[in-house]
Amino acid sequence: DADVTQTPRNRITKTGKRIMLECSQTKGHDRMYWYRQDPGLGLRLIYYSFDVKDINKGEISDGYSVSRQAQAKFSLSLESAIPNQTALYFCATSAPGGLAGNTGELFFGEGSRLTVL
Amino acid sequence: KQEVTQIPAALSVPEGENLVLNCSFTDSAIYNLQWFRQDPGKGLTSLLLIQSSQREQTSGRLNASLDKSSGRSTLYIAASQPGDSATYLCAVILYPGGKLQFGAGTQVVVTP
């Protein structure tokens, strides 16, 4: 099984619908992230969480919200989806860097492809 | 604001040639730099992570160098194979366990 699992892997929805993308991890990491990927733009950070009670906005958080239900679960919601939110969404995890043997390396899920019509 | 640039955006080479992929960043105050591979429609696979105190990292046919003072990292792939065809992304880690700032990637095609 994958260490970082995203569901659903593919979703087609209509403008105005509420969508939730879910992420779960078995790596035991405290830190979790949501990125979106658009052609030619690379990956951009939407939200990140350093522990269950710590949630922070990334560079493109408008139109999105998140919930950290447990150390292993981090969900991304689009309250009212719009076509320019069509993208490939990635969840990632990391352990805190700076500790012995820990480099802060990130591990990614397989991605969730969202299409908003 | 840290900006990460990858040039070229796309690259095509015949099998057997060495690949050289470039990554530049504007602020040398990085913690680490990580190289990823992405196959079409797939997630990101970590290839190499170079800590800011290191000059290079090697894994098999892959070698990544880091020059913080000039804001550059280079990924070398020796003796390329068709299976190396993918998009390669670099990302800088801004502080321990923190956010990554990504480049847009270099799409590589290795022709048989």
Tens of pLDDT along chain B (112 residues) come to: 788 999 999 999 999 999 999 999 998 888 889 999 999 878 889 899 898 888 999 999 999 999 999 999 999 999 999 999 999 999 998 776 567 889 999 999 999 9
CB contact under 8 A, A111 and B41: yes
B100 vs A: CB within 8 A = yes
Residue A100 has pLDDT above 90, yes or no: no
Residue A110 has pLDDT above 60, yes or no: yes
CB contact under 8 A, B42 and A111: yes
Q: Which residues contact A99 (CB under 8 A, 6 or more apart)?
A: none
Give the nearest partner residue to B105 out of A42, A44, A92, using CB atoms.
A42
Which of the pair, B46 or A14, is modelled with greater confidence? A14
- What pLDDT, on the 0 to 100 scale, is given for residue A41? 78
